[in-house]
Structure 1
């Protein structure tokens, strides 16, 4: 005889949204006692909320200067990681990770946070990204469920953020627009106009839903199922607009920083990168969001500034196909060092910013990596991965098999669990990442 789980324990593993969706119910259930949190859960929720900042450069870095030659806690810092020496105990560098069956060179850039297989196959459809999966769990606890940012990004074709239906979420590449949405309240007239726009969109959704229901009874089972998914999406949009309306009536946080001016010159890649990192820290610091993704679109970057007045001799993409040319390698090393310097500055700011109960870095998982293990050969294995902060036990090089990689999504499961998501799997995962444990 099959044993039955007690109802409270079973439902504790299901969010109310998932419970409703699984039951096919369109009306919100009342709050049930079985959803009441235990004292331990309540104590946990009183702790500092977890955050994540997910960064990818779609051409990666040179592998040899990035990866350490030794592993464990006593590993020797690589030339690139020397830039991060002050934070040695607050980050973990990981080798031997990739997404299984995620091949195709540059086509994998949209799969860095999804792990979707065979992105070059006909009829390929992406899957939900790590940030959006976490955002579904978080709900509307913050003004923005997530921020999706880009530097020099081809907004129509590239993004780190993807919906559950595999739809690209365009990245915002204007720092001034990001700042306005985060911190500029506007006049009462402007707020009223934004509320009217939300109400108008809601009326359109109502009209679309009503017209669609008129022919619902004429559909077969498969189309009925698709339409149910459609109505679920409509309900979620309605909930988002309702929440947006509530947030619109709350004052935005005030910050002492001045609004940034957009840098138009695409050659100033690292200045633009720094701007977006600073905005990300402001958004996290003010709890405007707890999830930020940031794609540095090196592929779309022309000739760019390296150091001072020195510029690259060619665009970033052809430069990455260095063919072991010494002059190209030297330029790439300078570009990679600038990225590491910006990463160190980011960690300095997060470590020096007070969170609810601890430095912000301790409650913020900072992921830096790429879909490219070696851009010179379009290799999508042995990806450069670094995780800092977030309350993990760091100060180590986790070295997995570089010939038979472990799934990168194992790391994502560990991050999701740390974020508070009761996820046993994500994408191509086979569990959590061995050797990465929370601090006791």
Structure 2
């Protein structure tokens, strides 16, 4: 990790428990609810769900049959929403194959750029979810939400820090977006009754008082550093003001009202749930509820970290997920690994079904969303990232046609960032280039 002197002002505020999103750029227009024939429509949402340690390649995938998409064993829990699902084969990030390392260099799923080989000054690249959040986040109390079930564990391998394995979303090329693993705190970020904003304001008051007292004592160079720090403070002030405005004038600012008005999920207990399955499901429920109530339109959800040792004993299996991923084709361990894969798809499917059951007028919440499920490896046993397990659910507000399987394995331009460009475009971010790609996938509609 970086020494304290290397951390930015923005990181300091995050460390103090204050979350900062990307700054809003005046040159980027607002993206609220679309209007069709004068009537505001439900907005689009993006969710990226991740689980670590890859998949059993023998049972992951699909095909196009006479009755539509046909799933292999691991994806069969998606049957209830099969017409809203796309399965991709062959997409990848070419930068993951260069250099040493088994897991850590592959954690560039949402940036496509090369992961820096380092144990100190980490760098992955600004991720597509944060670019989208910078545009759509002005219309919701929370610009984006990064959640998960496991925090970082500090170690190194082949010259890489394990910090990479714990983060999917990066708010700058060198700064991971703060990830909340405590369900109660994730819930409170979304459904603040005003008390959290009051606490943040009190912290800001103290910061500003300290800054004022220092101003006359600093050199010119230190004064410049203080100005940089106060820029981050002002960003937080703007975020608090936006949240207050949205909470008191939702109808006028949004132009569209969500069908779910109050949380159906009780405020979770403090701490980490004792049972892993409860933790995973809670974080998925929080994602669904956030979308239902339009508290945020961008979520990244790490169901497990990469290299996760999470033990799903409740499935009747023994051993942590990382251990089981290196099954060496041992029948018992491979069967246990397969059970873990199927469980991840099952709970993800249950979340999709809740979204499908949420009516938003002409479409369901799932129809208005784009929800990705993926891992950073395909064959976990071989650390193979030359293709990635990838499923996309939802209709993207009528811009995606599900129930199909896409095989890009023989396409010379099978870069994962082409999918990101297609998703970014549907979320209102128009750009000709992202990561290592300069044209989007064009056959999804």
TM tier relative to shorter chain: 0.7 to 0.9
Equivalent-residue separation in structure 2 for 1:410 and 1:73 (angstroms): 28
**1:50-89 superposed matches below 5 A:** 50-68=44-62, 74-89=68-83
Equivalent-residue separation in structure 1 for 2:53 and 2:359 (angstroms): 34
1:329 alignment partner, SS class: helix
The equivalent residue for 1:270 is: 277
Tell which deviates more after alignment, 351-360 or 321-330: 351-360
Unaligned runs of 5+ in 1: 1-14, 21-34, 218-223
Q: CA RMSD in A?
A: 3.7
Equivalent-residue separation in structure 2 for 1:282 and 1:116 (angstroms): 32
Deviations 1:45-84 (A, max 9, x none): 9322110111011212212211125589845321122221
The equivalent residue for 2:17 is: none
The equivalent residue for 1:107 is: 104
Deviations 1:300-322 (A, max 9, x none): 33433242xx232x221111101
TM-score (norm 2): 0.77
Equivalent-residue separation in structure 2 for 1:287 and 1:174 (angstroms): 21
Is the CA contact (8 Å cut-off) linking 1:92 and 1:398 kept in structure 2? yes
CA drift at 1:120: 2.9
Is the CA contact (8 Å cut-off) linking 1:81 and 1:340 kept in structure 2? yes
The equivalent residue for 2:330 is: 325
CA drift at 1:333: 1.3
Point out the structure with max Rg over C-alpha: 1
Tell which deviates more after alignment, 240-249 or 333-342: 240-249
Is the CA contact (8 Å cut-off) linking 2:63 and 2:405 kept in structure 1? no
The equivalent residue for 2:414 is: 406
The equivalent residue for 1:10 is: none
Equivalent-residue separation in structure 1 for 2:96 and 2:358 (angstroms): 38
TM-score (norm 1): 0.78
The equivalent residue for 1:145 is: 143
The answer to whether 1:120 aligns with 2:117 is yes
Is the CA contact (8 Å cut-off) linking 1:61 and 1:374 kept in structure 2? yes
CA drift at 1:200: 3.5
1:420 alignment partner, SS class: coil
Tell which deviates more after alignment, 372-381 or 148-157: 148-157
Q: How many residues align?
A: 394
Is the CA contact (8 Å cut-off) linking 2:110 and 2:128 kept in structure 1? yes
The answer to whether 1:257 aligns with 2:265 is yes
Unaligned runs of 5+ in 2: 1-22, 155-162, 251-259
The equivalent residue for 2:377 is: 372
CA drift at 1:259: 1.7
The equivalent residue for 1:420 is: 428
Is the CA contact (8 Å cut-off) linking 2:272 and 2:279 kept in structure 1? no
**Matching residue within 280, 287, 292 for 1:280:** 287
Equivalent-residue separation in structure 1 for 2:414 and 2:295 (angstroms): 34
1:105 alignment partner, SS class: coil
Equivalent-residue separation in structure 2 for 1:208 and 1:365 (angstroms): 48
Is the CA contact (8 Å cut-off) linking 1:61 and 1:384 kept in structure 2? yes
CA drift at 1:198: 3.5
Residues 230 and 178 (structure 1), Cα distance of their counterparts in 2 relative to 1, 3 Å cut: closer
The equivalent residue for 1:239 is: 238
The answer to whether 1:294 aligns with 2:301 is yes
CA drift at 1:151: 1.2
2:174 alignment partner, SS class: coil
